[in-house]
Every structure is written in structure tokens, then in C-alpha cells.
Amino acid sequence: MIREVILGGGIIYLIIILLQAIAQPSVGMEAIVAGSILAVATAFYWYRKHEGLHRWEAVALWGAVFLFLLYGVLKYTGVV
């Protein structure tokens, strides 16, 4: 059931991204990149080997933590 919910959520977000790209053509490239990443991330949950999925979840989680930390440092130093 979790896979179906994640797939449904991914489809809803892809629709929202598509509508944003249509409403604001200037964000077309960002919509393509975000939609591609979202589609790949959603597709990972249909992957059969749970060990590989767990590894990629950990990489994505720590990547997000690192990017958040990097943003905080850049914001604190006045770069952003």
C-alpha cells in the first residue's frame, strides 16, 4: 500500500509541476529537472531489492542534510 501512495503522491506532484510550467514558461527548465528527479525517486519504490533502496534512501537523506547545512553556512556568511 505504501508503494501505491508514494506513486499517487509522485503523480500529483508531477501534475503540479506541469501546471506550473504551463502557467509560467520561464520555469520550464526547472520543471523538467524537478519532474525528472521526482519521477526517478518515485520509480525507486518499485525497485525489488530493498537493500539497494535503503542505501539510496540514506544517500538522499544525508545529501539533503548536507545541502541544508551548506545553505545555512552560505546564508550566515552573507553569500546567499
CA distance 19 to 36: 15
pLDDT at 48 over 70: no
- Dump pLDDT digits (tens) for 51-80: 767 777 788 889 999 999 999 999 999 988
Q: How far is CA 3 from the centre of its chain?
A: 16
Phi, psi of 57 (to 5 degrees): -65, -45
Q: Where are the domains of the chain?
A: 1-46, 49-80
pTM of the model: 0.57
